[in-house]
Every structure is written in structure tokens, then in C-alpha cells.
Amino acid sequence: MSHYEIVSREDFSEVTYLLEIRHPMMARAAKPGQFVMVMLNEQGERIPLTIADFDGEKGTITLVIQAVGKTTRQMQQECLVGTSLYALVGPMGVPSPISHARKVLCVGGGLGVAPIFPQARGYKEAGAYVIGVVGFRNKDLVFWDEKFRDCCDELIVCTDDGSLGIKGLVTAGILQAIEKHPDIEEVVAIGPPIMMKGCADTTRPYNIKTMVSLNPVMVDGTGMCGGCRVKIGDQVKFACVDGPDFDGHQVDFDDLMMRLRRYTRTERQALDHWEKGCNLTKSIAGSVEALIPVQALSAA
């Protein structure tokens, strides 16, 4: 029944992989900042993933996924070239407003490196001077640096251990860029909530407009369930239809992070149930563990 075929795949590391999926109509419609909802199979959960790239001519969209739990790990195992997804809906969400700012800083951390790419490219195409800041845990996890170099006028790579580029978090990269370019008009930051919070805090004193892309738990992605509600200033917004991009200086990140932990227990259960039924190697499981501290912070 389904016809969302995976046409290519690339594994960036033990936990990060790229899927290129055929969907000509979506490839033409997609704009930077939008996302899709994916179901691997009929029993699966609907999970939101950002459209990391789209190619109208080839008729494909690209997703870059981090294996953090049941669904994303099962996809890592089962989504091979030639297989199909059960469901793929999108593009969802309000496209990022690519403004006419002349100098823009695009910041991607971990999970957010891929989704920041279409924005960086969008700004480049709109004629902006684009400075990219991408952050990884270490040199082995780095991907797409070539792609970024193509569309960024400057690229700052940050690694936690200093194995490539500057040592430190992306916020260090932001500060470095701001120092060199006091005329940066806009910052766009995508990554784990804790990182986006850091970015917003970093730019606040400079009063630079900072957009972030929020990733609350979603069910339908069409504005029907309210599960994705986030606090923006004194208002409640639904990230899937009112966002996912919001003004980072207005976002209540603590609320977002607390709400992301809603289903930690059941998610764990789903993973255990699935692992019992398959022979995932211990080593992968181990490295995944290391990657989810954000979500696991206070898993009850």
C-alpha cells in the first residue's frame, strides 16, 4: 500500500543515519524549517522528523535521524535501500521565515546539524552572508561539513573534546562569531532544547533576534491533539501548526524539557519489549545510552 521508498541511505556514525525517500510532490513543496511525520509500520508510532534536505528534481526528501529510542532504532535496522515506510506525511509546520537579513548565524548542535542546513542554504540563496556553527561530541560524529562549506561563507566547527575545530559547545562558537561580526542580524539555532536554551541565553545580552525550532512530543502534527503545546511568552502555542520555529528569547525551555519527559517510562518499556524480540548488539545499545542524557536527565 505504501509507496514511500527509501532510495539511499548513509550512516554517519553508529547512531546517526540519513535516509533519502522518494516523494516527488513533497520534494517540490518542502521549505526550510518544515518536518514530516513518519510511521515505520502499521504498529508504529508517528514520529516527527525535520526535512533536512529536499531535491525537487530528483523527487526526494532527506531525513537525518538519531537512534535514541524504539522507533528510531528500529528504523536504523529496517530502513534499508529499497524498503518503504508505512506512512509519510508532510511537509508540516510553518516554513521558517527566511528574512532579508544581511548577515545570519546558523547554529546546529548534534541532532540539529542536519535540519539547520536547509535554512543556511535558504539564507544563502536569499543573498545573506551566512556563518555556520555546527557542534558535535567529537570528530568521528562530524557529517555534512562539505555541504555546509558550500553554502556558508564561514563555518565554525565545535567539538566537546576539541578533536576538531574549537573545543567547547556551540555557544562558544556563537560568541566567537559575534565578536568578529558585531553586525549579525539574526541567529537561527536548532538542536536539543538545552542547547537552544544556551544559544538564546548567549544572544540575549546582544539583543540579536534568535529563532529556534522546538521539538515537543507530537502525535498527529496537524493541530488536533494539543500534545505539542509550548509556552511562548505568556501564550500557549501548538508547535506543529503554529511553529515549529519560535522566538528563542520568548520560549519557556524549562517547560519544554519537562514535558519531553512525559512518556519516559513507557518509551523505555517499548524499547525493552522490542529489544527482547531482536538481537541488537550491546555496543550499539551502549553508545545510544550515552546520547540521550538530555531526555534521561531525570527519568523518574
Partner 1 sequence: MREQDPVERSRNFEEVACGYHPDDAMRESERCLMCPDQPCVSGCPVGIDIPGFIRKIGEKDLRGAYDILTETSLLPAICGRVCPQENQCEGVCTVGESLEPVAIGRLERFVGDAAIREGWVNIPYIEANRFKVGIVGSGPAGMACAADMAKAGCEVTVFEAFHQPGGVLRYGIPDFRLPNAVIDAEIGNLRKLGVRFECNTLVGRLFTIEQMITEMGYDSVFVGVGAGYPTMLGIPGDSLNGVLSANELLTRCNLMRAKEFPNFDTPQPIGKRVAVVGAGNTAMDAMRVCLRLGAEKVYCIYRRSRKEAPARAEEVHHAEQEGVEYHWLTNPVAVLDDGHGNVRGMRCVRMELGEPDESGRRRPVQVADSEFDFEADLIVYAIGTNANPIMGQTSKLELNKWGYIQTDHSLATSMAGVFAGGDIVTGAATVIEAMGAGRKAAASMKAYLGLRDSALPYASGGEKLFGIDTRERNFARVRVA
Nearest-angstrom CA–CA distance, 114 and 117 = 5
CB of 298 to ligand FES, least distance (A): 24
Does 66 count as an annotated binding residue? yes
262: contact with ligand FES by CB under 6 A = no
- Bridge-based pairing state of the strands 235-238 and 229-232: antiparallel
48: contact with ligand FAD by CB under 6 A = yes
Q: Among ligand FES, partner 1, ligand FAD, none, what does residue 8 contact (CB within 5–8 Å per kind)?
A: none
- Bridge-based pairing state of the strands 53-55 and 60-66: antiparallel
Contact between residue 93 and residue 118 where contact means Cβ atoms under 8 Å apart: no
CB of 229 to partner 1, least distance (A): 7
295: contact with ligand FAD by CB under 6 A = yes
CB of 88 to ligand FES, least distance (A): 16
- How far lies 96's CA from each of 74, 120, 199, in Å? 30, 11, 18
Per DSSP, what are the bridge partners of residue 156? 133
59: contact with partner 1 by CB under 8 A = no
Q: Which is nearer to partner 1, 133 or 214 (CB)?
A: 214
Work out the widest C-alpha separation in the chain, in whole angstroms.
55
238: contact with ligand FES by CB under 6 A = yes
Q: Hey, is 132 helix, strand or coil?
A: strand
228: contact with ligand FES by CB under 6 A = yes
Q: Among partner 1, ligand FAD, ligand FES, none, what does residue 103 contact (CB within 5–8 Å per kind)?
A: none
Look at residues 209, 208, 207, 189 and name the one whose alpha carbon lies nearest to residue 199: 189
N- to C-terminal Cα separation, the chain: 40
Does 65 count as an annotated binding residue? yes
Q: Among ligand FAD, partner 1, ligand FES, none, what does residue 39 contact (CB within 5–8 Å per kind)?
A: partner 1
By CB under 6 A, name the one of 66, 76, 203, 210 that touches ligand FAD: 66
263: contact with partner 1 by CB under 8 A = yes
Contacts of 224 (CB under 8 A, 6+ apart): none
Q: Which of residues 203-222 bind ligand FES (CB under 6 A)?
A: 218-221
By CB under 8 A, name the one of 5, 7, 44, 292 that touches partner 1: 44
Nearest-angstrom CA–CA distance, 148 and 146 = 5
- Burial of residue 131, with CB atoms counted within 10 A of its CB: 0-12 exposed, 13-18 middle, 19 or more buried: buried
How open is the CA angle 235-239-243, to the nearest 5 degrees?
Answer: 95
Q: Which residues are annotated as a binding site for [2Fe-2S] cluster?
A: 225, 228, 240
**Given the rule CB under 6 A, which residues bind ligand FAD?**
35, 45, 47-50, 64-66, 68-72, 111, 114-115, 215-218, 222, 244, 260, 264, 267, 271, 295
